[in-house]
Amino acid sequence: MRILVTGGAGYIGATAVAMLLEAGYDVTVLDDLSTGHSDVIPTEAKFVKGSLLSNQDLDEALTGCDAVMHFAAKSLVGESVEKPDLYAEVNVGGSKALFSKMKAHGIKKIVLSSTAATYGEPKRVPISENDEPAPKNPYGATKLEIDRMVATSGFSAISLRYFNVAGALQSANGWLAERHNPETHLIPNILKATNDAPVKIFGTDWPTEDGTCIRDYIHVVDLIEAHIKALETLPEAKHEIINLGSGDGYSVRQVIAAAEKAVGHKIPAIESERRAGDPAILIADITKAKSYLNWQPNRGIDQMVLDTWNSIK
């Protein structure tokens, strides 16, 4: 069975490619390398360097495939506020073109990368799939629109709504690290902190026990295990939405403490202003992931920090 992985040169997509190959699938990667890195694509995968917005690239990529894992997207909240049209074109336009070409090729199976950003400011935690989505930024809005498009497509589809993805896979070809530029995510920023450039703690006056924001971190290997289970349990001509997180929350200070344990020294950190748009607490209700996918997360915050450290040091 051949799987098309869109965005397979990115951090999460490349982890999916490695784990799909390991599980015995054939893999085609479609990636325009706008943010991905070609050196992470294994030689066993067929690579099409191209765009979702090119019919020719889509035809080449979909040829011989039986199912799709769709990761390719613009995914920076701040950038999406500055360039909403770009996010609409690439995320919504690109997905629409992909779905249309899948139909032309007779491919009906798809697992999609969605996000907790579709929920916006939660009215309650943990957040369940039944809670009303209300994205607070164009990134979340484009991802919600994709989920709505796929829901009416007639495909056998599962959208997986990620909370905070961290950690790394040590693949046959080395560590598949998170390599964003600029890096905005907490764990890599903690691990890159120096005395001259300490990590900033965005807000210490949040309504949480230690005053810093709480997030639900999930190891990228647990995340992709859930994708493979989703691929193997796709509903017939129906769309499901499933949250992926650990079901537990960690504050920024708790993550810094876990990192200090992993690296064995104090992490330089400074208290800073709140970052615009951050909700205080995001935690996933993962009841559906556990029951529907017969899955559970197995790697905790200490391992996420340690694997991230090993992948970037």
What is the nearest approach in angstroms of ligand UDP to the Cβ of residue 77?
Answer: 7
Contact residue for ligand UDP among 164, 243, 246, 311 (CB under 6 A) = 164
Kind and range of the H or E run holding 57 = helix 55-62
Q: Which amino acid is at 265?
A: H
Site for ligand UDP in 204-223 (CB under 6 A): 213, 215
Closer by beta carbon to ligand UDP, 32 or else 216: 216
Give the integer Cα–Cα distance in Å for 285 and 290: 10
The one segment of 22-30, 42-50, 83-91, 182-190 that binds ligand UDP by CB under 6 A = 182-190
Give the integer Cα–Cα distance in Å for 6 and 64: 15
What is the nearest approach in angstroms of ligand UDP to the Cβ of residue 201?
Answer: 5
Q: Is 248 in the site for ligand UDP (CB under 6 A)?
A: no
139 is catalytic: yes
Closer by beta carbon to ligand UDP, 53 or else 257: 257
Give the integer Cα–Cα distance in Å for 180 and 268: 21
Site for ligand UDP in 250-279 (CB under 6 A): 252, 275, 278
Q: Which amino acid is at 305?
A: V
First to last CA, the chain: 36
Q: Is 19 in the site for ligand UDP (CB under 6 A)?
A: no
The one segment of 25-33, 58-66, 197-205, 304-312 that binds ligand UDP by CB under 6 A = 197-205
Q: Is 26 in the site for ligand UDP (CB under 6 A)?
A: no
Kind and range of the H or E run holding 310 = helix 301-312
Site for ligand UDP in 82-141 (CB under 6 A): none
Q: Do residues 34 and 98 lie in contact, with contact meaning Cβ atoms separated by under 8 Å?
A: no
Give the integer Cα–Cα distance in Å for 172 and 176: 10
The gap from C-alpha 21 to its chain's centroid, in whole angstroms, comes to 19
Closer by beta carbon to ligand UDP, 27 or else 166: 166
What tokens does 93 get? 């336009």
Could you list the residues that contact ligand UDP (CB under 6 A)?
Answer: 164, 184-186, 189, 199-202, 213, 215, 252, 275, 278
The set of catalytic residues is 139
